[in-house]
Amino acid sequence: MAGNSFGQLFRLTTFGESHGVALGGVIDGCPAGVELDLQMIQEELDRRKPGQSAIVTQRKEPDTVEFFSGVFEGKTTGTPIGFAIRNTNQKSKDYSHIKDSYRPSHADYVYDQKYGFRDYRGGGRSSARETASRVVAGAIAKQLLKDIKITAYVSQVGALKLDKNYNQLDFSVIESNPVRCADMEMASQMEEYIKSIKKEGDTIGGVVTCVIQNVPIGLGEPVFDKLHAKLGEAMLSINAVKGFEYGSGFDGVKMKGSEHNDAYNTDGTTKTNRSGGIQGGISNGMDIYFSVAFKPVATVLQAYDTINKEGEKVTTQGKGRHDPCVVPRAVPIVEAMAALVLADYTLLARSNKI
Amino acid sequence: MAGNSFGQLFRLTTFGESHGVALGGVIDGCPAGVELDLQMIQEELDRRKPGQSAIVTQRKEPDTVEFFSGVFEGKTTGTPIGFAIRNTNQKSKDYSHIKDSYRPSHADYVYDQKYGFRDYRGGGRSSARETASRVVAGAIAKQLLKDIKITAYVSQVGALKLDKNYNQLDFSVIESNPVRCADMEMASQMEEYIKSIKKEGDTIGGVVTCVIQNVPIGLGEPVFDKLHAKLGEAMLSINAVKGFEYGSGFDGVKMKGSEHNDAYNTDGTTKTNRSGGIQGGISNGMDIYFSVAFKPVATVLQAYDTINKEGEKVTTQGKGRHDPCVVPRAVPIVEAMAALVLADYTLLARSNKI
Amino acid sequence: MAGNSFGQLFRLTTFGESHGVALGGVIDGCPAGVELDLQMIQEELDRRKPGQSAIVTQRKEPDTVEFFSGVFEGKTTGTPIGFAIRNTNQKSKDYSHIKDSYRPSHADYVYDQKYGFRDYRGGGRSSARETASRVVAGAIAKQLLKDIKITAYVSQVGALKLDKNYNQLDFSVIESNPVRCADMEMASQMEEYIKSIKKEGDTIGGVVTCVIQNVPIGLGEPVFDKLHAKLGEAMLSINAVKGFEYGSGFDGVKMKGSEHNDAYNTDGTTKTNRSGGIQGGISNGMDIYFSVAFKPVATVLQAYDTINKEGEKVTTQGKGRHDPCVVPRAVPIVEAMAALVLADYTLLARSNKI
Amino acid sequence: MAGNSFGQLFRLTTFGESHGVALGGVIDGCPAGVELDLQMIQEELDRRKPGQSAIVTQRKEPDTVEFFSGVFEGKTTGTPIGFAIRNTNQKSKDYSHIKDSYRPSHADYVYDQKYGFRDYRGGGRSSARETASRVVAGAIAKQLLKDIKITAYVSQVGALKLDKNYNQLDFSVIESNPVRCADMEMASQMEEYIKSIKKEGDTIGGVVTCVIQNVPIGLGEPVFDKLHAKLGEAMLSINAVKGFEYGSGFDGVKMKGSEHNDAYNTDGTTKTNRSGGIQGGISNGMDIYFSVAFKPVATVLQAYDTINKEGEKVTTQGKGRHDPCVVPRAVPIVEAMAALVLADYTLLARSNKI
C-alpha cells in the first residue's frame, strides 16, 4: 500500500503537502455516538502550531480545521470524518533555493530518486506539517477513549536529561512552560539551552516520554501486532524520530531476570512495572510508558555545502523559519499517535471472545 | 485483524503453539521464479534452534520444516508457500506447574484475561518458538533479495557493550562463536558472563545490531509506512524486545543539527551516515543499521512468589530448559524479520512510478 | 475495516453525506508522473451530475471538484490526491418528512438500527451522491490506464432489452442520447418509456453493460482476488445494484462444456469469448465484458404507507427531485469502478515475477 | 496483496496445489471459546469430496483434515487455526498430456503468461480442489455463527430450472438426493439429465441458490463493503462462477419502484422481501437469499483442438475423472463462503457503536 493510512478499524488516511492547497484526512471507522468537542480538537491543533512561543518556529499558520462529514448534531455518525486545513501562509519563494539542490539529511534526494521528481515547496509531503492531520484525528481518538489518559512531555533536550521516573513528576506543569517539560526547573534550563542553540542558527535533538493511564487489560494482538510494536511503528512514523523504547527499554538489557521481573500483587497488578504495562504484546492494566528519540532538525540557518540535481557541488545558505528543537511541538503529536493506536486496539479487542 | 500476519505484498501468516501439533505458516505473494535453496532454509532454522551450544537452552528440537505448496521443480510458482514444523519434544508435564499460576513478566495472566482461558503448555502462542516460522519465511525472503546483504550480531550482553561501529568489525567471525558477537575478544567475555549467569539460575538481557547492505534507493513509503517504522514494528514484534533505534538513535538527540547532518558526495552518497541509510522513511542507498534491545528472559530457575488463578499467593520453583540469554539465538530472527520487511518494500516499490 | 476504502495499491477512500458540507476522497497509491487532464475529470463528473437531461433528476448540483494535494505542475507526485466537492444545493427542508419515518426499501431503518441514529438529510451517507467521489477517482484511474479502454452503456430499461452483443454496437452513439444506450433506435424507445414512468411518479430498473478493451494478459490474482470477483464486488457496491454477471453469465449455465469452451487461435487469442476475457480469475487479453442489474429507484412520487421510529403506521407522500431510472447516470459510475479495479490490478501485477 | 486471503477480522488464508504435498489454510481471528465439533467439520468436507455419488467425479480422495493449532481442550483459543489436507491420490501421470498444451477455457495459458511457468499437475493452484480449505474454514465459521442458518441448494441444471421461491421448498430433502436439489421431483429430472450429459463425455452448467436465516440487523459496512458486495465477491471467487444476484436480482430490473418496494410491518419486518434481506448494504433482519451461476466444467472427455506452448495446433483427448456438473459439490462451498462473510461481518459489527 501507499502508506498514507494508519490503523485497521479506527483508520486515518492523510493527504497534503506543506505548500499545496490544503492538508487533511479521513477517519474511517470511528463508532457512532461519540460526542465531539470541536473546540478541544482546535486546542490540540494549537498545541502543535508554529509561532506559539519564542523557542519554536515563528511561521504564522492559523491551522484552522474544517470538517466535511461524519458529524451530525454534535455526534459522530459512524460514517467517515473528512477534514481539511487550508495552507494560508505559503510563501513559496522562501523555498526557491532548494528547488534544484538537495538539503543534507532531508528527503529531497530520495524523493527525486523514488518518484522521478518532487513538489519541492517546503518539503512537500515529507514536511512535518503533515502531522497536523494526525493531531486532528488523535483529538477525536482521545474523545472516543474517554477514561484512558494519555500524557506526553519533554524528558530530554540535548544532554539535559530529566532523571526522574514519570510517577515522580507533576504533569500539571507541562503546559505551563514552552518546552513542555514536566519539571519546571529542568524546563527553564532546557528553554535557555534551546535559545542559545537558536542564536547559533543551529538545532538540537530531544526525547519525548509518554504515559498512558487507565488502560483496560487485553488491548494488543499476539505475535506481529503486539501493542508495543504498533506504538513503536506509530512513533517511528513521526518525522525526525530515531528510536523508541518502552518499559525498561535499553537500560533493561543490563538487568538480570530475577531483578527485572515484575512480581504480582494478589489483585493482578504488579509491584514494579518494568514491563511498561504490556506483557506478550497485550496490555496488563498497569501504566504504559515509552520514550521517543528525535534527532536535531536538519535545517540549520548556516551556510552549508551540498549537491544539486546534476551532482555538482553548491554552497547554500539555510534560511526560513524553523524550529531550533522539535520536541516541544512534538508532544501533542506523540499523544495523537498514541491515541490512534489505543483507539484502534480498543475496537479490535471487541472481537476477542465469543 | 487478528495480528498473525506481517507484510502487504510479501505476506507471512504464522500459526502454532509451542506444545501443539505443529507450527508453521503461509507466505503469500512471493513472486514466481525464485530458485529456492531448501538446504539454506534449514541452515537458517538451525541457527535459531535450541541446543546448539552450551549457552543456550538444552531442549532438543530438530525443527525440520516440511513444505506443502508453492514450490515446483526447485522454483517458487507465485502461489502461496505453506509449511509446517512438527513439535516432537513436547514434554507437556514440564509445564504442569504453570497451569494454574501466573509466571511474573510472562503473558500467562493477560492471555487468561483477554481470551478467557489459555493453552498453558509452554507458553502456547506467546512462546518464542513461534519465531521458527519467521526464520523459514525470512530465509525465503533473503533468497528473493539476492544482492541485499543482511547481517546481525550481538553487540551487548548485560553491561558488556561492543563499543565499535559496525564498519570496524569483522562479520566473518560472527558464526564462529556461540554468542554471535562480531568481535572475538568481546565474544569470549560475553560467553563467560552468560555461563556465570546460567550457573546462578538467572538470565541477562542484550542487544542485537543489524546491518543491511546493498539496498537500492527508494524503498520505503512516505508518512506512516516509513521503512524504519516498519523495521521498528518488525523488531518490536519479536519476543522480549524492549527498544529499537536506527542510525544515530538515542545518542543522536545530544547532537546539534550542524554536526548530525550527513553531507553529500557528488554521487549522492553521504560522507557520514548518521541517518542510518534512510531519509524521510525512504532508503538512500547507504547502509541501513539499527539496534534492538532484549530484556532478560523472564523464566529464572529460582524460587519465586506469584499468584494463582484465584488470586492467592503461591511460591513456585522455576524449572525447565531455558535460555540464560536470548540474544545469540535472536540473531537469525532479527535477520529474518529484516528480510521480510525488505522483501515487502521491494515489491511495493515497483508501483511507485508509471 | 469500516468499509469506505476500495483497492489495495491504488486505493480510494471516500467521505461525505449528501447534505453535509462536502463530499470527497483521497486516492493513495497513484504512481508519480501521470499527466492529469483536470478538464477530463470534470467532464466525467458532468456525465454523472443531476439535471443533464429531461429523464434524470432535475436537482441542480454543479459538482465542481477541488483538488487539495498530490498534483504538482500538471502531474501526479506519487503522494495522496485529496479532493472535495462542496454541497451547494442542500435544501434540507425537502427531507424533513423523512426524519422520523422510514422510507420503504431505503437504508433509513437499518442505519438507525446499526448506528443508533442517522443523518437523515437526503439519505446521508447512503445517498448515491457518494458516487461522485468515485467518478473523480475513476477519471484519474482512466488516465493512468491510458491504452485500456472502458466503455459502459445502458443495455436494458425495464423489459426493453438490447439483444445485440457488444461487438455489434456502435459505441460512438452512447453519449449522443440521454439514455446512454449504444443503439439509437432502442435509445429512443427507452427514453419514451422512462418519460412515461416519470409521468406516473414511478421508477423503473435497468441494466448497464461494460466492455474493457486492450487489457494486457495477467491482471488478476488467484483464488480469492480473482479479477472478476473484484469487478463484481466493485459493481455490487454501487447503490441499487442487485446482480452482476460476466462473459456468458447466467445464460452460460444452459450450455454444454463442448459448446461453451473457447477454442484457441495459434496466437493465444480465442475464437469465441464466452469466458469474458478472464480465465481462472486472470485476464487473458480478450475483451472483458459484464452486466450490472439496477433495481428501480425506491423513491416514488406517490403516497405510500410506512412506519415511524415508534413503529406506528404513517402515510407519506413521496416528494423531491429523483431519477425515474438510475441507469443513464450509472454509466459513468460503472466505468469509474471498473477503472479503479483495473488500476489496482495493474499495480498489483508488477509484483508477479522476479 | 497476493490474493489468497479472505476476510478482515475472521480471515482465511489458503495454500496448496491439487497435486502438491498438501493443501490447507490458516484461520486468523476466530474468537476464543468456540466449542468445535471436529466431526461436523469432516462431514462438511465429505459433502464436497469426490466420489460421493454416481453423478460426480469418481476420484478417490479421502480429504482428511489435520489441525495443527488454535484448538485446545475442544475449544478455540483465539490464536490462529492451522490445518492441512494431504494429497494422497495424486496420479501425476494423468496430467502429463496437459504439461505442454493449453486446455481451452482453463487457466493454463494465463498462468504461464503471468508467472512464466506453472505447476501443470491437475491444474495446480487453479484447481477447485483448493475449495476444500474453504469448506474447513466455513465449517468453523458456521459453528461460530450458531443461530444463523445457511442453506444452499441446486436450483438449476442446464435449462432445468426450479421455479419456486425458496420459502416454498422443503430444505430437508436437499441432502437426500445426489443433486442437492430442494425438490425431489426436479432432483430426479436433474439427475437423469446429468447422467445423460456424462454419457456424452460432456458437461453442463447450473445455479446454486443460498438462503441465510436468522441474521441480526446491522451486518454490513456502508459504501464499498456492503454485505451483498462481499457476498458477491465471495461467490465469484469460487471456480467456474459467472454470475451473482441477490434479492430480486436481474428480474428486478423489469419492475416499477412502486411494485418493487418492500412495505414495512410495524415491527420493522417487511411484507415482501425483494430486497433480499439487505438495505443499503446492511442486513435488515429478513432472510438473505442469492443465486450463483456456474458455467459447464471446461474439461470434456472428448477430442479437442488446441495449441501448445510453441503456439502450434495440437489435438488432444480429454481424459481423467471429472464432474459432469459442478453444482452438487458446489453447494457446501457456497455455504462455506457465505459463512466466512457472515462471520467476518459479525465481528466487524461489534465496533459500530460506542
pLDDT of residue C94: 62
Rounded to a whole number, what is the distance in Å from the CA of D49 to chain B's nearest CA? Answer: 20
Which residues of chain D neighbour B16 with C-beta distances below 8 Å? 68-69, 80, 82
CA distance C99 to D293: 40
Which residues of chain C neighbour B354 with C-beta distances below 8 Å? 31-34, 144
Which residues of chain A neighbour C32 with C-beta distances below 8 Å? 114-117
Rounded to a whole number, what is the distance in Å from the CA of A3 to chain B's nearest CA? Answer: 5
Which DSSP string corresponds to B157-221?
ETTEE--S-GGGS-GGGGGGSTT-BSSHHHHHHHHHHHHHHHHTT--B-EEEEEEEESPPTT-S-
Nearest Cα to Cα of residue A230 among A327, A130, A346, A148: A346
Interface test with D, best of B36, B69, B71 (most D CBs within 10 A): B69
Mean pLDDT to the nearest integer, C225-243: 98
- In terms of pTM, does the model score above 0.90? yes
pLDDT of residue C209: 98
Determine the Cα angle at D290 with ends D285 and D293, to 5°: 170
Residue ranges covered by each domain of chain C:
5-351
Alpha carbon C85 to its chain's center: 18
Mean pLDDT to the nearest integer, C290-314: 93
| pLDDT tens digits, one per residue of A98-156 | 788 999 999 999 999 999 989 888 788 999 999 999 999 999 999 999 999 999 999 99
Q: Give the nearest chain C residue to A126 (CA atoms).
A: C79
Per-residue pLDDT band at D339 (split at 50, 70, 90)? very high
Q: Does the annotation list C126 as a binding residue?
A: yes
Nearest to B15 among D5, D33, D82 (CB): D82
Per-residue pLDDT band at B34 (split at 50, 70, 90)? very high
In this complex, do A353 and D29 lie within 8 Å of one another by their Cβ atoms?
no
| Whether the predicted pLDDT of C84 surpasses 80 | yes
| pLDDT tens digits, one per residue of A217-262 | 999 998 999 999 999 999 999 999 999 999 999 999 999 999 999 9
CA distance B295 to A209: 20
Q: How is residue C184 written as a grid cell?
A: 439509437
Q: What are phi and psi of B65, to 5 degrees?
A: -95, 135
| pLDDT tens digits, one per residue of D82-131 | 999 999 865 556 677 778 899 999 999 999 999 998 888 878 899 999 99
* Three-class secondary structure of residue D340 per DSSP: helix
Q: Give the nearest chain C residue to A67 (CA atoms).
A: C21
Whether B122 has its CB under 8 Å from any CB of chain D: the answer is no
Rounded to a whole number, what is the distance in Å from the CA of D16 to chain A's nearest CA? Answer: 24
| Whether the predicted pLDDT of B93 surpasses 80 | no
Q: What are phi and psi of A178, to 5 degrees?
A: -65, -20
Whether C236 has its CB under 8 Å from any CB of chain D: the answer is yes
> Residues of A266-285 as b/e, b for ≥16 C-beta within 10 angstroms?
eebebeebbbbbbbbbbbbb
pLDDT of residue D61: 78
User: What is the value of ipTM here, to two decimals?
Assistant: 0.97
Rounded to a whole number, what is the distance in Å from the CA of D73 to chain C's nearest CA? Answer: 32
Burial class (CB in 10 A: 0-12, 13-18, 19+), D85: buried
CA distance B26 to B43: 19
Proportion of chain D in helix, strand, coil states, percent, rounded to 5:
35, 25, 40
Whether C1 has its CB under 8 Å from any CB of chain B: the answer is no
Sign of the torsion angle spanned by Cα atoms D113, D117, D122, D125:
negative
Q: How is residue D270 written as a grid cell?
A: 417487511
pLDDT of residue D113: 93
In this complex, do A350 and D354 lie within 8 Å of one another by their Cβ atoms?
no
Q: Does the annotation list C299 as a binding residue?
A: yes
Rounded to a whole number, what is the distance in Å from the CA of C120 to chain A's nearest CA? Answer: 10
D50 vs C183 pLDDT, higher one: C183
In this complex, do B4 and D26 lie within 8 Å of one another by their Cβ atoms?
yes
SS (H, E, C) chain A: CCCCEECCCCEEEEECCCCCCEEEEEEECCCECCECCHHHHHHHHHHHCCCCCCCCCCCCCCCCEEECCCEECCEECCCCEEEEEECCCCCHHHHHHHCCEECCCCCHHHHHHHHCCCCCHHHHHHCHHHHHHHHHHHHHHHHHHCCCEEEEEEEEECCEECCCCHHHCCHHHHHHCCCCECCHHHHHHHHHHHHHHHHCCCCECEEEEEEEECCCCCCCCCHHHCHHHHHHHHHHCCCCEEEEEECCHHHHHHCEHHHHCCCECCCCCECCCCCCCEECCEECCCCEEEEEEECCCCCCCCEEEEEECCCCEEEEECCCCCCCCCHHHHHHHHHHHHHHHHHHHHHHHHHCEC
In this complex, do D351 and A33 lie within 8 Å of one another by their Cβ atoms?
no
Q: Does the annotation list A48 as a binding residue?
A: yes
Q: How is residue D283 written as a grid cell?
A: 442486513
List chains adjacent to chain C, taking adjacency as at least 3 C-beta pairs closer than 8 Å. Answer: A, B, D
| Whether the predicted pLDDT of C196 surpasses 80 | yes
In this complex, do B354 and C31 lie within 8 Å of one another by their Cβ atoms?
yes
Which residues of chain C neighbour A14 with C-beta distances below 8 Å? 26, 80
Whether D221 has its CB under 8 Å from any CB of chain C: the answer is yes
Whether D300 has its CB under 8 Å from any CB of chain C: the answer is yes
Domain B5-351 grouped into CATH 3.60.150.10: yes
Task: Work out the mean pLDDT of chain C and round it to a whole number.
Answer: 94
Task: Work out the mean pLDDT of chain B and round it to a whole number.
Answer: 94
| Whether the predicted pLDDT of C92 surpasses 70 | no
Q: How is residue A297 written as a grid cell?
A: 532538525
Interface test with B, best of C1, C224, C351 (most B CBs within 10 A): C351
Per-residue pLDDT band at B69 (split at 50, 70, 90)? very high
pLDDT of residue C30: 97
Q: Give the nearest chain C residue to D271 (CA atoms).
A: C104
| pLDDT tens digits, one per residue of C58-71 | 877 788 999 999 99
Nearest Cα to Cα of residue B251 among B282, B278, B232, B276: B276
| pLDDT tens digits, one per residue of A159-216 | 999 999 999 999 999 999 999 999 999 999 999 999 999 999 999 999 999 999 999 9
Per-residue pLDDT band at C173 (split at 50, 70, 90)? very high
Q: Does the annotation list C182 as a binding residue?
A: no
Share of residues in chain D with pLDDT > 70 (%): 97
Q: Does the annotation list B296 as a binding residue?
A: yes
CA distance D21 to C221: 22
| pLDDT tens digits, one per residue of B151-210 | 999 999 999 999 999 999 999 999 999 999 999 999 999 999 999 999 999 999 999 999
* Three-class secondary structure of residue C341 per DSSP: helix
DSSP symbol at B146? T
Which residues of chain D neighbour A36 with C-beta distances below 8 Å? none
In this complex, do A353 and D144 lie within 8 Å of one another by their Cβ atoms?
no
Q: Give the nearest chain A residue to C78 (CA atoms).
A: A115
Whether B203 has its CB under 8 Å from any CB of chain A: the answer is yes
In this complex, do A245 and B242 lie within 8 Å of one another by their Cβ atoms?
yes
Interface test with C, best of B11, B34, B348, B354 (most C CBs within 10 A): B354
pLDDT of residue A306: 93
Whether B116 has its CB under 8 Å from any CB of chain A: the answer is yes
| pLDDT tens digits, one per residue of A55-110 | 888 877 788 999 999 999 999 999 999 999 999 865 556 677 778 899 999 999 99
DSSP symbol at B261? -
CB contacts under 8 A, C 59-98 vs A, are 66-70, 72, 75, 77-82, 84
Per-residue pLDDT band at C89 (split at 50, 70, 90)? low
Mean pLDDT to the nearest integer, D148-167: 97
Name the amino acid, one letter, at D48.
R
Q: How many CB atoms lie within 10 A of CB A313?
A: 12
Q: How is residue A145 written as a grid cell?
A: 477513549
Share of residues in chain C with pLDDT > 90 (%): 83
Mean pLDDT to the nearest integer, C71-92: 89
Which DSSP string corresponds to D194-260?
HHHHHHTT--B-EEEEEEEESPPTT-S-SGGG-HHHHHHHHHHTSTTEEEEEETTGGGGGGSBHHHH
Q: Give the nearest chain A residue to D345 (CA atoms).
A: A351
In this complex, do C276 and D242 lie within 8 Å of one another by their Cβ atoms?
yes
pLDDT of residue B92: 55
In this complex, do B300 and A261 lie within 8 Å of one another by their Cβ atoms?
yes
Q: How many CB atoms lie within 10 A of CB B88?
A: 11
| Whether the predicted pLDDT of D287 surpasses 60 | yes
Nearest to A115 among C2, C9, C32 (CB): C32
In this complex, do B69 and D17 lie within 8 Å of one another by their Cβ atoms?
yes
pLDDT of residue D92: 55
Per-residue pLDDT band at D1 (split at 50, 70, 90)? low
pLDDT of residue D320: 75
D49 vs B328 pLDDT, higher one: B328
In this complex, do C222 and B79 lie within 8 Å of one another by their Cβ atoms?
yes
In this complex, do D1 and B20 lie within 8 Å of one another by their Cβ atoms?
no
| pLDDT tens digits, one per residue of C246-277 | 999 999 999 999 999 999 999 999 999 999 99
Which residues of chain B neighbour A110 with C-beta distances below 8 Å? 217-218, 220, 279-280, 282-284
CB contacts under 8 A, B 7-26 vs A, are 8, 14
Rounded to a whole number, what is the distance in Å from the CA of C171 to chain D's nearest CA? Answer: 23
Contact B117, D77 (CB under 8 A): yes
